[in-house]
A and B are shown apart, each in its own frame.
Chain A
Amino acid sequence: MLAFDFWLISLIFIKFALYVSSFANVGFVLFSNIMWVQNSKLLAWISCWTFRSLLLSLTMTFLQFGFQVGQLAGSGFYGFLEFEIALLLLKGSVGLAFFLKLLAVLLIFVSFHHLFFKKYFAFSGAFIMALSFVAIGHATHAAVLLVPVLGLHILIVCFWFGALGPLYYILSQEDVRDEALRLLESFSEKAFYSVIVLLGLGIVAAFILLGSFEALFFSNYGLVIIGKIAFVIALLLLAFLNKYRFLPEFKKGSERAEISLQKSIVLESCLFIMIFAIVAFLTSAVNLPLNR
């Protein structure tokens, strides 16, 4: 069985924090550029939280690398100082993912301070960050097809997750109801269809990784994926409620609908956080079936 030790437990928590922070900053960047956010207060809010999440991403990227060295060295608490192991990791896909994350953080940071090529920096940063998550692990192990499938899967997750904070913020502001309505309508449309694509891509990725639908039900890895899919279906139900119930009522001026939308956003955030926890655990502690 797997050696369930201090390093592995720490790495699961670090990976979880890395998912939350990186997906948030990529999401904020995608949201502000795709949705054409013009409101100055909302833009300031997005800038502030992008900067905070970038700092957390950067810290977690270094911590993750150090703890991976420590886990591989297996020589006590100071294992993360083993130079030979660090070099071995830097030469492989762990090193590639590490450098891609640093580059992505830099590009996203620059995108908020560059006037002319803002969008180019923003989208390149988002794309490279998504790529850094598929450069390592099962993605390079199973099939080449997994890279675009998982890359797109991650970008959609980021867009949705990164939209929740700004939407909650704009709903809590008194004088920007028109902008809130425009953003909610536009996002609701995109979110509803993107969750179906998300689910489809997730199932394709699971099938490529496991090799058969049978393995989805009869392997430990498959059973954890089913748990993840259950949370995604809950997200789909919330998206359905938002689009066909709360949003039309909000349009009519209902204050109750405004509160329902805010509650729905909080619930969606919780579901995302749970999915990130499952994936952090899945990609750290569970091995694929032996034949993969």
Chain B
Amino acid sequence: MKFFITFFISIALLTVGVSAHSVLRSSVPMDKSVLEKGPEEIILNFSYEIRLTSLTLNQNNESKKLDFEIKSFAKMFSAKSPVKNNGPYEILWRGLSRDGHIVTGTFSYYVKP
């Protein structure tokens, strides 16, 4: 029993190491970038076509759903970003790939004071 518990915990921990591979090719703002002022637009550029289903902007404990226009499979999506205060921001995206895989990911940026 102990062995099984150890095995499942190892599998869960392994996920953290293996998950570094992303379908997101690039983004504006770039991941971990430091900006002088908040971006007016968020752009996501994927490696292959996906159907984006959700885009969320997180700051501290506050999260806001962002509206994006394209409602079909595409490689690039953009959304208007509410210009906000300084601080760290995280964008969480979710989508469906053409082969039926659910793909998700995050990237972050920092707006200088």
Which residues of A come within 8 Å of B, CB atoms? Answer: 1-5, 8-9, 68, 71-75, 85, 88-89, 92-94, 97, 135-141, 219-221, 223-224, 274, 277-278, 281, 285-290
Contacts and interface: CB of A to CB of B under 8 A. Distances in A.
A74 B7 contact: no
B85 interface: no
Closest 7 CB pairs of A and B: A93-B100, A74-B54, A141-B99, A3-B104, A136-B100, A2-B19, A220-B18
Contacts of B18: 220-221, 223-224, 285-286
Contacts, number: 105
Given A3-B94, A72-B94, A281-B15, A289 B102 contact: no
B21 A141 contact: no
Contacts of A97: 100
A3 B16 CA distance: 10
Contacts of A88: 51, 53, 96
A137 B101 contact: yes
Nearest to A92: B100
Interface of B: 7-8, 11-12, 14-23, 25, 47, 51, 53-54, 56, 65, 92, 94-106
- For B8, B18, B20, the residue with the greatest tally of chain A CB atoms inside 10 Å of its CB is B18
Contacts of B51: 88
A132 to B, nearest CB: 11
A216 to B, nearest CB: 14
A137 B94 CA distance: 16
Interface of A is mostly: helix
Given A2-B19, A286-B19, A9 B97 contact: no
Contacts of A278: 11
A4 B99 contact: no
B21 A221 contact: yes
Contacts of B8: 277
A73 to B, nearest CB: 6
A137 to B, nearest CB: 6
B99 A138 contact: yes
A271 to B, nearest CB: 11
B99 A220 contact: no
A83 to B, nearest CB: 13
Nearest to A280: B11
25 contacts: A1-B20, A1-B22, A1-B105, A1-B106, A2-B15, A3-B104, A4-B19, A5-B104, A71-B102, A72-B95, A73-B53, A73-B94, A74-B56, A74-B92, A74-B104, A88-B51, A88-B53, A92-B98, A93-B99, A94-B100, A137-B101, A220-B21, A281-B11, A286-B19, A287-B103
